Amino acid sequence: MRTTGFRSMVLYILLAAFLGGLGYLLVNLFLNGGKWAMQPYNGHISGETSTVKLGDITDRDGSLLATTQDGTRLYSQDETVRRALLHTVGDPYGYISTSIQSTMSSKLSGYNIVTGLNNTFFNRLGSDIALTVDQDACAAAYNALGGKNGGVIVYNYQTGDILCKVSTPTFDPENIPEDLETNDAYKGAYLDNTLSSSFTPGSIFKIVTAAAAMERWPDSWSTITYSCSGSVELAGSDITCLHGNAHGTQDMAAALGNSCNVYFAQLANDLGAEALQAKAKEMGFNVSFDLNGISTMESTIDLAGANANQLGWAGVGQYTLLANPYHMMCLMGAIANGGEYVQPRLTQGADLLGEITGGSRQLVSSGEASQLKELLRSNVEYYYGDYLFPDGMNVCAKTGTGEVGEDKGPNCWMVGFCDSTVYPYAFAVVVEDGSGGIESAGSVVSAVLSALA
């Protein structure tokens, strides 16, 4: 009797272990099956001899960006569109890991839990993807970058639709260059600069320093003045304005329009490192954002232990600060939208709305949003010129030149939005090794907005 009892107990344990393992396998198959089947090393889906028919990818107007014909993956017929949308659409080998072809490959292939990748009726359901981007705006951005490296991202801050997303360096997915791995011109080509890179922000960070002052001195921020003689000495070394220009006594609107470093360096010191760091965090620094399930590179700020000079340079977007274009676009969308940003999306339909991965969608208070909007509008109206942009767009913006040292030109930025219900667009543009904010980045913004008009 005792032996039989022992034996059945062993059998029960074995049965329980078997069922447990089977359950574990099934749960994982259900959760991860699509991912497993779509690994790039599955010869059925990668390369030019794929036996799986991937669905079509179209832009917001239905223009074909990628399709499969006789087992071959074909892209747009327009080479400029292919290059401009490489990082959004993807390539045949999965080099661009943040592209739609990589991140949504199981949807494109029609993978399902019952038939896997086998070519059945089920696989033909729901395998096409309509994007929110406008191929003409993307081509215009690519052309306007003029061979420079950088990133361009624009979205509708009311609906969340990403209208333009272009990253350079890029290549033609239909004629992949043989020296892709060895030619320096393609260095960084696998990265989508709008999502996965960060750059020295330079003067676009003055928006954050200004917002910190609005929070600290709600009724008197606009009356704060500093005098600029072209430079100011902080902790033993100088902080200078561009070309050593002396801007004289200025309030914040004038200082932002002139992009006066002396003003914002002193303002940062009067605010203190802790307050500036806290405001930057509130506005989305040191936080990762999300686009269709892709976590984006954080913008970063770390003022711990910074002396007065370093804090001054931080206040004008230098020191060790870095900014991510996608985050800057969301921040501009928030300012345009009364402080809270609408979650951007890259695919049409309600199926893949992004999640809040950190903090809230409220990046500034509604009062700060309307005051910042006024300052940014004044920049364009009185300093940059409305002639740069299509009529009636009412553009609000800030330029920046992030100095990167050595023998390279600065990172040239323009971030902003149209204060318009007809054109509710927010944007961030960065051009590496450029000549100036307006010249290098402003001309790209101008080209994209014209294409969207």
Contacts to Zn ion from residues 227-256, by CB under 5 A: 228, 241, 247
Q: Closer to Zn ion by CB, 66 or 271: give it.
A: 271
Give the angle subtended at the CA of 380 by the CAs of 376 and 381, to the nearest 5°.
Answer: 110
Q: Closer to Zn ion by CB, 196 or 399: give it.
A: 399
Q: Closer to Zn ion by CB, 38 or 262: give it.
A: 262
Cα 322 to Cα 151: distance, rounded to the nearest angstrom: 14
Among 152, 208, 260, 375, binds Zn ion (CB under 5 A): 260
Q: Closer to Zn ion by CB, 146 or 248: give it.
A: 248
Q: Closer to Zn ion by CB, 149 or 261: give it.
A: 261
Say if residues 134 and 59 touch (Cβ distance below 8 Å): yes
Which residues are CB-neighbours of 344 under 8 A, at least 6 positions away? 155, 160, 161, 162, 291, 326, 329, 330, 333, 354
- Shortest Cβ 377–Zn ion spacing (Å): 21
Q: Closer to Zn ion by CB, 57 or 265: give it.
A: 265
Cα 340 to Cα 367: distance, rounded to the nearest angstrom: 12
* Amino acid occupying residue 203: S
Cα 401 to Cα 243: distance, rounded to the nearest angstrom: 13
Binding part of the chain for Zn ion, among 68-76, 259-267, 396-404, 431-439 by CB under 5 A, reads 259-267
Q: Does 262 bind Zn ion (CB under 5 A)?
A: yes
Binding part of the chain for Zn ion, among 96-104, 258-266, 300-308, 381-389 by CB under 5 A, reads 258-266
- Shortest Cβ 249–Zn ion spacing (Å): 10
Q: Closer to Zn ion by CB, 247 or 345: give it.
A: 247
Encoded tokens for 347 = 């695919």
- Shortest Cβ 260–Zn ion spacing (Å): 3
- Shortest Cβ 241–Zn ion spacing (Å): 3
Q: Kindly compute the dihedral angle of the four CA atoms of residues 445, 449, 451, 453, in this order, to the nearest 10 degrees.
A: -170
Contacts to Zn ion from residues 300-319, by CB under 5 A: none
- Shortest Cβ 232–Zn ion spacing (Å): 9
Do you find a cis peptide bond into 390, omega within 30 degrees of 0?
Answer: no
- Applying CB under 5 A, the site for Zn ion has a residue count of 5
Q: Closer to Zn ion by CB, 313 or 423: give it.
A: 313
- Shortest Cβ 257–Zn ion spacing (Å): 11
Cα 13 to Cα 8: distance, rounded to the nearest angstrom: 9
Binding part of the chain for Zn ion, among 123-131, 169-177, 221-229, 346-354 by CB under 5 A, reads 221-229
- Shortest Cβ 315–Zn ion spacing (Å): 13
Contacts to Zn ion from residues 44-63, by CB under 5 A: none
**Sheet containing 129-130: order of strands:** 72-75, 64-69, 57-58, 129-130
Do you find a cis peptide bond into 40, omega within 30 degrees of 0?
Answer: no
The DSSP line for 168-195 is ES---TTS--TTTTT-GGGTTTTS-HHH
Q: Closer to Zn ion by CB, 208 or 267: give it.
A: 267
Cα 26 to Cα 258: distance, rounded to the nearest angstrom: 63
Cα 309 to Cα 313: distance, rounded to the nearest angstrom: 6
Q: Does 208 bind Zn ion (CB under 5 A)?
A: no
- Shortest Cβ 250–Zn ion spacing (Å): 7
Binding part of the chain for Zn ion, among 139-147, 155-163, 260-268, 372-380 by CB under 5 A, reads 260-268
Q: Does 195 bind Zn ion (CB under 5 A)?
A: no
Encoded tokens for 279 = 């405001």
Query: What backbone phi and psi angles, to 5 degrees, belong to 437?
Result: -55, -55
- Shortest Cβ 267–Zn ion spacing (Å): 12
Q: What are the beta bridge partners of residue 291?
A: 294
Q: What is the DSSP letter of 133?
A: -
Residues forming the site for Zn ion (CB under 5 A): 228, 241, 247, 260, 262
